[in-house]
Structure 1
Amino acid sequence: MNLSIFFEPLNEDVFANLEKPRTLGSYISYFVSKFPDWRAADIAILGVDETRGRSNEEQAEDASTAETPARLVRRKLYSLNKGAGRCQIVDLGNLRPGISLDDTYLRLKEIVEVLISHNTIPVIIGGSHDLEYGQYMGYEHLERVVNMVTVDSSVDMTEDPSVPPNKRQLRQILMHEPNYLFSLGQIGYQSYLTEPEVMATLEKMHFEAYRVGEVHRSIQEMEPVIRVADLLTFDISAIRHQDAPASEPANPFGLTGEEACQLCWYAGLNDNLTSLGIYEYNPELDDRELTAMMIATMIWYFIEGFYHRKNETNFTSRHFTKYAIAFTEDNPDRMTFYKSKNSEKWWLEVEPLSAEKGTRIVPCSYEDYLQATKGEVPHRWIMTQARLG
């Protein structure tokens, strides 16, 4: 497939000031005159400067002259020093927006679908957060259930049609047919920004949601949440204003910059994750381009995490230790855990209530294991079994 017809080439000024030979930009194949060979790449970076989802606008903004989100982030990202590992990355340029917002979703869907079908991970620099709908639809061709994690200060699932699309795209995802969403994890939400009815819906569907305070208390507990994901989306509004001021409305509370980078590191390490989208960066609000640097650093950590993947998917291999926990002496039921000898990560085996569905092994934490040794059923086990039905 000729992907180049969907993209605008980059301006050479993005790569003009790369003075150090070991900067990341020096190792990337990018679209200026010749479209890069994306089939041989591990990661493909693409800009989607589509913002109509913020206010129901009918016309797309002209991105040819303005400082766009993707352009500013690229300048910061490509000036960072490359890590120690290999680097097979391409920059495809900027996706041409569709005539309508729905057309842009469909274009993004097609791009994501093609890239992940060739084992190339798209890293999307948005654009409004509703673009995650197009990112999600890119998985429809897999004909299997997928797991999604979104990092956001609110849950974008309102039913009010008068609200801009970037506040109701999760509802679009849940209503999409065919329905292939198995699990949804929401990280970093703030209760005073989220409708109670929305949280009740998440609970009813057995989806996981973690307040920003829970992330502050133990960010390590977010690692198993991200490790289950096939796709991750990140709304910059989840980060506090001090660290990422270029989002609307301004939020004095939220994740720290260090926590945002840690979550992206976890995403990069995830053997199953095949796409990343970072959305809602508004350059007009970016004093001294601090948010551009924030996003660039997040992507840098994602790339580093990717090149540290362990490919830990064969639980019968000698690289795993198996633990069987019996709840009581007179109870024959057992709970099975697996621990990697290489990374020391944990997984939990969940048997469905219905015999027609197979056993599922899901990421968990050491705390889940300790809870089981005390005779308590971990919440993650309960939620997974409820989704299996």
Structure 2
Amino acid sequence: MNLSIFFEPLRDFADTYIADPKSVGNAVSLFSHKFPDWRTADIALIGVNEYRGSAQETSAEHPANEVRRKLYNLKKGTGAYKIADLGNLLPGITLEDTYLRLKEILENLIAHQTLPIVIGGSHDLDFGQFLAYENLERAVNLVTVDSCIDMQESAAEPHQNKRHLHRILMHEPNYLFSLSQVAYQSYLIEPEVIATLEKLHFETVRIGEIHHNLQLAEPVIRQADLISFDISAINAQAAPNNTGGNPFGLTGEEACQLCWYAGLNDSLSSFGLYEYHPENDSHGLTAMTIAVMIWYFVEGYYHRKNETDFTSKKFVRYAIAFHDNPNKMIFYKSKVSDKWWMEVEGLSGEKNIKIVPCSYDDYLSASKGEVPNRWILTQGRMA
């Protein structure tokens, strides 16, 4: 498929940001005149200037370019970079056309094992990101990082970036196995929304829990097939991006750590960064924060351990028996990364087992005779 017809080239970047041989920009194959070979790339960058799903339009011509200016001046990391920058996506005639255009492009990239990083654009663009998985013929895991939970279903809310999660949940055919929400702020969320997620056995991690122990988010991030990151989840000190200004939220360091976890995830096949508004970006600070987040994501990607074969010698298998149950709970620990996984068996009569990421605390809970909450949530979704 000729993807170049969907993109606008980055001619302003051709010489300015690649002069330093040790810079990120010098290591990226850029669409300035010739479209890069995305089929052989590990990672593909895509800018999307689409804000019709938001109440806040942008006056900037290409917001992703502000991020590129910061990113390409950073020093290249340790990975053997095979990164293509495809340029800026040409929006569709309608917002729905943009969703479908994004779906088609990401679907092709994912099919060739090229991981797209989308630099948006309003947060509802993750609906197009989600649609790219429709033909995989398997259920997928979505993780969103956001201060809010965008599940408005009222007709009084006309903006898609406040309703996109509801649309994903209601999409047919239904191929969503789990939706996990990270870094939400309770005072911005209606209690009924949290109750809905609990009924669906979805996992949530509050911002306060992350501040207390960032490691709580690691197993959640590690189970994702796709991640959707709203920049408004970051506090105004690190990302003065929105007109409202939120003094609370993730620190810049926490946001980068979450991106490191995401890059390390062997299962992750697409990553979206949304709701960047350059006109509100004081001194380019938000663009710099996003650039460093992408840098850490790329570093994580090139430190992947390929920990997907649980029968290999990379893993130690632990079986924990419960006194009142003849069945055993099975855990796996990686000898390489020290990370943990556990087997969860479905409630149906069929032999249906999933191996899902967990924490060492989950293993300790099981060893004390307590069923980990993550095990219960996963089994609930398998029912």
TM-score for both structures, normalised by structure 1: 0.96
CA-to-aligned-CA distance 1:79-101 (integer Å, 9 cap, x gap):
11111120000000000001111
Answer yes or no: is the 8 Å Cα contact 1:147–1:181 preserved in 2. Answer: yes
Q: CA RMSD in A?
A: 1.4
Match of 1:50 in 2: 50
The answer to whether 1:336 aligns with 2:304 is no
Q: Which one is further off, 15-24 or 74-83?
A: 15-24
Provide the secondary structure at the position in 2 that maps to 1:124.
Answer: strand
Alignment of 1:193-232 (within 5 A): 193-232=188-227
Q: Unmatched 5+ residue regions in structure 2?
A: none
The residue aligned with 2:134 is 140
Query: Counterpart amino acid of 1:120?
Result: T
Higher mean C-alpha deviation, range 11-20 or range 189-198: 11-20
Counterpart secondary structure, 1:332: strand
Q: Which residue of 1 aligns with 2:301?
A: 306
Q: Which residue pairs with 2:161 in the alignment? A: 166
Q: SS of 1:52's equivalent?
A: coil
1:269-348 pair list within 5 angstroms: 269-328=264-323, 331-348=325-342
Change (3 A) 1:91 1:374: same
Question: 1:262-312 deviations in whole A, cap 9, x for unaligned?
Answer: 000000000000000000010000011000000000000000000000111
State how many pairs are aligned.
382
- State TM-score, norm by structure 2: 0.97
Deviations 1:214-241 (A, max 9, x none): 1111111211101100000100000001
Q: Does 1:187 align with 2:182?
A: yes
Shift of 1:13: 3.8
Whether 2:18 is the aligned partner of 1:24: answer no
SS of corresponding position for 1:134 = helix
Q: Distance in 1 between matches of 2:81 and 2:336?
A: 23
The residue type paired with residue 251 of structure 1 is N
Distance 1:95 1:358 in 2: 41
Q: Match for residue 106 of structure 1?
A: 100
Which stretch has the larger CA shift, 350-359 or 181-190?
A: 350-359
Residue type of the alignment partner of 2:34: K
Contact 2:145–2:228, Cα closer than 8 Å, also in 1: yes
Letter in 2 for 1:372: A
1:102-125, Cα deviation, whole Å (9 max, x unpaired):
110000011110100000000000
Partner in structure 2 of residue 68 of structure 1: 62
AA matched with 2:322: F
1:150 aligns with 2:144: yes
Give the Cα–Cα distance (whole angstroms) in 2 for the partners of residues 154 and 209 of structure 1: 12
Correspondence for 1:267: 262
Identity of aligned residues (%): 65
Distance 2:166 2:79 in 1: 39
| Structure 1 residues 348-389: Cα deviation after superposition (integer angstroms, max 9, x where no partner) | 100111022511100000010111111111000000000000
Quickly say closer, same or farther: Cα 1:101–1:56, change in 2 above 3 A: farther
Where 1:133 maps in the other structure, the secondary structure is helix
Paired AA for residue 202 in structure 2: F
1:370 partnered with 2:331: no
CA contact (8 A) 1:14 1:71 kept: no
In the alignment, what sits opposite 1:359?
353
What's the offset of the Cα at 1:32?
A: 1.0
